[in-house]
Structure 1
Amino acid sequence: MNRAGTIALTALAPVSWGSTYAVTTEFLPPDRPLFTGLMRALPAGLVLLAVARTLPRGVWWGKAVALGALNIGAFFPLLFLSAYRLPGGMAAVFGSLGPLWVAGLAVLLLSEKPTVRTLLTGIAAALGVSLVVLRATAELDTIGVLAALASSASMAAGTVLTKRWGRPEGVGPLVMTGWQLTAGGLLIAPVAFLVEGAPPVLDGRAVAGYLYLALVNTAVAYWLWFRGIGRLTATSVTFLGPLSPLTAAVIGWAALGEALTPVQLLGMAIAFGATLLGQMRGSRRGSGGDTGDQKFSKTERIDRKDSMDLMDSAVRR
């Protein structure tokens, strides 16, 4: 698969995440954000572990827990907390700062020097998202702002460390996804039960919603996301993030009857343009190059091993 195909598949992850709001409001019990985060992460992680039948070894126990905490265990609760305390989609605006976080962390951890184009594109992405989701009546809340910044920084740090550490020899992104979702879900579980109490009673719609979130929105989406991190630069991957609020706005218009104003349409065009610009290759000297492409053949063999292992497991069962 060429680079464009890798970008397109990776982009399916934030597009899927953009459906979270509609599924949550239309299918799931209200006011249970931590339980929802738990149901997204832990069942998906356990399914992937059962399929892959591979556990971390040595230092990768600690690395898997650290990545699971950053990408899942801390990110989900902080994201939900900010969404509840910040009105008008302001949490999405802070989340759109992810490319700027990644650009800064990539300097320290990946030796990728950010270009002026990268910084300007990151600012444009945040501006576009703000035009799509912000409302004139939106007010700042200190705890909400701190939670939103922390959630964005957590995901950015997880993305950069995932790129820096890579994967153990012979381990593909499917296995890595299972490790991180399981670790993150186990970290969320005690917080969810402590804050929200016992799980709610679920009807058929809620079960269907949680199944979608766990399997499609989380297991498959995060597998594609971590796979993309292994093949592309961290900055390139994180610039796909604005597709999530854009997808949410389109679903709200198409499925929930929400109107789109001219200002929102302008913001969507700016954010989408920034996403496309963020996929353009930088110079090798200026940005560290697209290091994922240099290891493509090895990664492709590991991905094939993931797929063959998955099919072999299905046949045996």
Structure 2
Amino acid sequence: MRNTDLPRIAAAAFAPVVWGSTYVVTTELLPVGHPLFAGLLRALPAGLIAVALTRTLPRGAWWARAAALGVLNIGMFFPFLFVAAERLPGGVAATLAAAQPLVVASLAVGVLKESPSAWRFAWGVVGLVGVGLVVLGPAAGFDLVGVLAGLAGAATMALGVTLTKKWGRPAGVGPTAFAGWQLTAGGVFLLPVTFLFEGPPPAIGPQALIGYLWLGGVGGLLAYVLWFRAVTTLPVTSVSMLGLLSPMSAALLGVVVLGQTLDPVQLTGFALALAAIVAGQRPAPVLVEGALR
């Protein structure tokens, strides 16, 4: 990690911190039983706004690439995320999502042709254990559909992030336009799926309106602009480790908003997860990495 990377890492970290609010917003503000509609409103309006502001459209092969990335990172990921958030306690959903760095580290070997890194895998496991200690309690429930949705969400976004790194960003295209393409493509994918499986949209009261605006504006457009800029300019395995900040943020919001408390085991988990995040931003020590390979 170079000192010049610190501002980009800090900006990228904003995205998962904001995404951590998804669990609270979903359970406290949004209508129950409409995960696809929540994903649709998080993606399509934000994407169209970004495209309108930048006035930049894909060219050539980037029409297909933007569509594929949009479906993986947005169109498929959002429904899985909201289904997991609705059917599982936030802690269980967050722990499943924390498996993403391990999936990215595996895909980096096969898709990006990177050398296997025991350092990344080891810290990925530490991060997963840390998150589990923070958010899993004795009363955690394991709904099968919710668990499968959580695992599928981690896998689809991991593949999307890896392909984003592989293809990069077209020359002359800024991160806002790039994020706009993907949000729009994901929203277009979700549009018929939402009405097919959920029917008419739910009534949107003042609370739900605030929730959708937060998820679409801050958690959608702003967060994804920063996230995709980081993915295309920083090591993908390092960026994926920042995703552990999402369940950490969710746990802290539980303390601040819902009046929950953290016991010594959870505080230990916090320390482990933070250590994994910091270590994930640094290159593996040459001697250690060489010995572990």
Q: TM-score range by the shorter chain?
A: over 0.9
The letter for the 2-side match of 1:189 is L
Which residue in the other structure is 1:31 paired with? 33
Structure 1 residue 86: Cα displacement: 3.4
Structure 1 residue 80: Cα displacement: 2.1
Q: How many residues are paired up?
A: 287
The letter for the 2-side match of 1:2 is T
The answer on whether the counterparts of 2:119 and 2:284 sit within 8 Å (CA) in structure 1 is no
Give the Cα separation in 1 of the matches to 2:16 and 2:271. 17
- Per-residue Cα deviation, 1:85-135 (whole angstroms, up to 9, x for no partner): 334622211211111101111011212223221111000111011111112
The answer on whether the counterparts of 1:64 and 1:180 sit within 8 Å (CA) in structure 2 is yes
Structure 1 residue 211: Cα displacement: 1.4
Which residue in the other structure is 1:180 paired with? 182
Which residue in the other structure is 1:200 paired with? 202
Which one has more relative contact order, counting CA pairs under 8 Å at least 6 apart? 2
Which residue in the other structure is 1:290 paired with? none
The letter for the 2-side match of 1:227 is R
Which residue in the other structure is 1:72 paired with? 74
Give the Cα separation in 2 of the matches to 1:83 and 1:208. 18
Say if 1:30 and 1:119 are closer, same or farther in 2 by CA, change over 3 A: same
Q: Secondary structure at the match of 2:242?
A: coil
Are 1:190 and 2:198 an aligned pair?
Answer: no
The answer on whether the counterparts of 1:83 and 1:89 sit within 8 Å (CA) in structure 2 is no
> After the TM superposition, which residues 58-97 of structure 1 pair with which residues of structure 2 at under 5 Å, given as runs?
58-87=60-89, 89-97=91-99
Which residue in the other structure is 1:15 paired with? 17
Give the Cα separation in 1 of the matches to 2:236 and 2:190. 26
Which residue in the other structure is 1:264 paired with? 266
> After the TM superposition, which residues 47-126 of structure 1 pair with which residues of structure 2 at under 5 Å, given as runs?
47-87=49-89, 89-126=91-128
Which residue in the other structure is 2:283 paired with? 281
Runs (4+) off by over 4 Å = 283-287
- Per-residue Cα deviation, 1:45-68 (whole angstroms, up to 9, x for no partner): 010011011111111111001000
TM-score, reference length from structure 1: 0.85
TM-score, reference length from structure 2: 0.92
Match of 2:155 among 153, 156, 169: 153
Q: Secondary structure at the match of 2:258?
A: coil
Say if 1:83 and 1:206 are closer, same or farther in 2 by CA, change over 3 A: closer
Which residue in the other structure is 2:216 paired with? 214
Give the Cα separation in 2 of the matches to 1:40 and 1:88. 19
Q: Secondary structure at the match of 1:270?
A: helix
Structure 2 residues without counterparts, runs of 5 or longer: none
Identity %: 53
Structure 1 residues without counterparts, runs of 5 or longer: 288-317
Structure 1 residue 212: Cα displacement: 1.5
**Cα-Cα RMSD:** 2.0
